[in-house]
Amino acid sequence: MSDIAAELARVREAFDKPTLRLLDRKWAPFVLAVFKSSFSRDRRSVQADLLHTQVDAYLADLRSVGSEVPGKNGRALCVQWMNDLWLYREMGDTSAAKGGNTSGNTSEEFYSLTSHALEALLLVDGLARDRALISESRLTTIVDTARHRATQANPDRQERIRRLDQEIAEKQSERDRLDAGGEVASASNEQMLEGYANLIDLINQLPSDFKRVEESVAGMHRQIINDFRGEERPISEVLDDYLAKTDALMTSTKEGRAFEGAFALLRNDTLMRGLKNDLETILLHPFALELSGSDRRSFMGTVGLIRKGIDDVLTQRNGLSTTLREHIVNHDVVKDRELERMLRDINKELAVWMQTAGPRSTVTAELMPGTLDVEHLQERFYDPMAHLAPPELDDVMGDAPEPPSLDAMRQQGGPLLAEMRDALVSAFSSGDAASVGAAFNALEVTLRRPVEILGMLQIATQVDAVHRAEAVESFETVRPDGSVRSFTVPRIMLTDAETAALAALPYGASEPDLTFDRNE
């Protein structure tokens, strides 16, 4: 095969992968825009019905501005994208009341992006950037990585010692220079932006890397289950084989081996704390003022992104172990033994039937049992204890406290409008009160409760005497328990006409027929 033919075969194989199939489709911009709008770092899964509704809303919005969109609805498109390996649907537990006290959990379907969709989004984001990634920061990263790997790859002890001595000498020289008062070189905003772009490019690749490990574990999960169900050997002979596969799960695929190699670093809390501090230090540089709030939050969320990726992979791996264990137990105890007992009973019945059956005798057997015509099945049997009368209540009247008197209950109630009306009319008709406050402060203790102020204001409002108040005065109130408290209330004056109107207010069972004249 010529070089071009081999290269064509390799390119065709690449285009057959879901990532490039997504970018090669007519509706690729629409699909990627939906993925970009619906999923993010902080929102890695979306409830299935919610995503269907969101896609329908996106379709309607784009049609309203004249954009060409697919003719299917949101549900059909999501199912198609799932079949194309761009979306992954799984069952998840969601609380009945999220973020608060939960009364129970229900199982719902959630969509998440596959590693192929994440790679396509990463590629499009990289092409959409205006800044070129070739920079001093990128080249420095390449040189430092190459130097570190070359040191690890060289088996020569002396050469490795020489490299380490050289690195120690360089760092010691820089330390001595700074310790002697040398100038501390500060990175420019342009250099920090280049380094930030390089770092963000590496961070953005983490979600798809973690997702590939999850998909690798899930694929092996399905393969082991299918092999286990199709196994013709007895369960006792294959148990050790599948347990061995489970133990070697993370080392049997390249994604699993890569994750196991990085896991030692990822679970190092000291390293993660150091990474978080380094990220905070980077954002303290003046160049960070040019970043948006979302960019800064996303950058600081790198440690959380790493921990979430680790948790997702470990959850997927633990789910595989749990499923295998449950399948082994249920298959052995429930299925094999019950099926064996059923077949043995059938053989016994066949032996009895063959004693009287002729050569061409047949037996009609239903593939599925018929349904019973039963109107009602009793769910609960009669329980005599359910019809016993409840025990008699104990007589506790001797422990009851003394009931309150009528006057005590009135003191705890609302304002005494009739008594307050009569007291105000009496005070202003005799000329003893300069204001409503003065009249109130001269009343009996039983009429000077704080609630009586509200009654007094209600009465004064009904005769339209409150709107003229321009000053305030103090009302000295006495609570039912004897405590005293002062309130500041508008200073209200009553004219003769208002006093007469006040006397005519319908409070109480009977009203006195009085005429008042302040000059008498």
* 332 and 428 co-located in one domain: no
Residue span of the structural domain in which 336 resides: 198-352
pLDDT of residue 309: 78
Spatial strand order of the sheet with 45-47 comes to: 45-47, 105-113, 87-95
Question: pLDDT category, 103, cuts 50, 70, 90?
Answer: very low
Judge whether residue 95 has pLDDT over 60: no
Q: Please report the DSSP string for 129-197 in residue order.
A: -SS-S-SHHHHHHHHHHHHHHHHHH---HHHHHHHHHHHHHHHHHHHHHHHTT---PPPPHHHHHHHHH
* 334 and 453 co-located in one domain: no
β-sheet bridge partners, residue 488: 474
Q: Note whether 105 and 93 are within 8 A (CB).
A: yes
Number of domains in the chain: 3
Please write the tens of the pLDDT for every residue from 27-73: 888 888 888 888 887 788 889 999 999 999 999 988 888 888 888 89
| Pair of tokens at residue 144 | 């430092």
Domain boundary residue, one of 305, 324, 352 = 352
Q: Residue range 424-430: average pLDDT?
A: 86
Question: pLDDT category, 139, cuts 50, 70, 90?
Answer: low
Q: Note whether 437 and 474 are within 8 A (CB).
A: yes
Which of helix, strand or coil describes residue 87?
strand
Backbone angles phi, psi at 484, to 5 degrees: -115, 140
Question: pLDDT category, 244, cuts 50, 70, 90?
Answer: low
Report in angstroms the alpha-carbon separations of 26 from 30, 65, 126.
Answer: 9, 19, 20
In a domain, 237, yes or no: yes
Question: pLDDT category, 241, cuts 50, 70, 90?
Answer: low
Q: Residue range 217-243: average pLDDT?
A: 64
Pick from 88, 115, 128: nearest CA to 19: 115
Q: Note whether 440 and 419 are within 8 A (CB).
A: no
Judge whether residue 399 has pLDDT over 80: yes
Q: Note whether 423 and 459 are within 8 A (CB).
A: no
Q: Whole-angstrom Cα distance, residue 468 to residue 490? A: 9
Judge whether residue 359 has pLDDT over 50: yes
pLDDT of residue 259: 67
In a domain, 29, yes or no: yes
* 336 and 427 co-located in one domain: no
Question: pLDDT category, 12, cuts 50, 70, 90?
Answer: confident
DSSP 291: S
Q: Residue range 293-318: average pLDDT?
A: 78
Report in angstroms the alpha-carbon separations of 161 from 85, 151, 243.
Answer: 50, 9, 44
Q: Note whether 435 and 460 are within 8 A (CB).
A: no
* 213 and 308 co-located in one domain: yes
In a domain, 206, yes or no: yes
Average pLDDT, the chain: 77
* 207 and 338 co-located in one domain: yes
| Cα R_g (the chain), whole angstroms | 43
pLDDT of residue 520: 39
Q: E strand or H helix at 237, and its extent?
A: helix 235-247
DSSP 478: E
Which conformational region is residue 464 in: left (phi greater than 0), alpha (psi within -120 to 50 degrees), or beta?
A: left
Q: Residue range 230-242: average pLDDT?
A: 59
Pick from 193, 201, 217: nearest CA to 287: 193
Q: Which long-range contacts (CB under 8 A, 24 or more apart) does 63-71 make?
A: 69/27, 69/30, 70/27, 70/30
Q: Note whether 484 and 474 are within 8 A (CB).
A: no
| Pair of tokens at residue 348 | 């016994």
pLDDT of residue 486: 92
Domain boundary residue, one of 324, 352, 380 = 352
* 23 and 110 co-located in one domain: yes
Q: Whole-angstrom Cα distance, residue 318 to residue 329? A: 17
* 317 and 226 co-located in one domain: yes
Judge whether residue 84 has pLDDT over 50: yes
In a domain, 63, yes or no: yes
Please write the tens of the pLDDT for every residue from 467-515: 888 889 999 999 888 899 999 998 988 888 888 888 888 875 444 443 4
* 305 and 440 co-located in one domain: no
Q: Residue range 147-165: average pLDDT?
A: 80
Q: Note whether 19 and 120 are within 8 A (CB).
A: yes
Instruction: Give 11's Cβ-side CA count (13 Å radius).
Output: 6
Judge whether residue 100 has pLDDT over 50: no
Please write the tens of the pLDDT for every residue from 311-347: 777 777 777 677 666 766 666 556 666 777 888 888 8
Report in angstroms the alpha-carbon separations of 7 from 2, 15, 97.
Answer: 9, 12, 56
Q: Whole-angstrom Cα distance, residue 255 to residue 208? A: 11
In a domain, 368, yes or no: no
* 346 and 457 co-located in one domain: no
* 213 and 339 co-located in one domain: yes
Q: Note whether 286 and 189 are within 8 A (CB).
A: yes
pLDDT of residue 132: 47
In a domain, 329, yes or no: yes
In a domain, 192, yes or no: no
Look up the pTM and report it: 0.43
* 342 and 416 co-located in one domain: no
pLDDT of residue 155: 79
CATH label of the domain that carries residue 31: 1.10.10
* 68 and 206 co-located in one domain: no
Domain boundary residue, one of 336, 352, 368 = 352
In a domain, 241, yes or no: yes
pLDDT of residue 237: 59
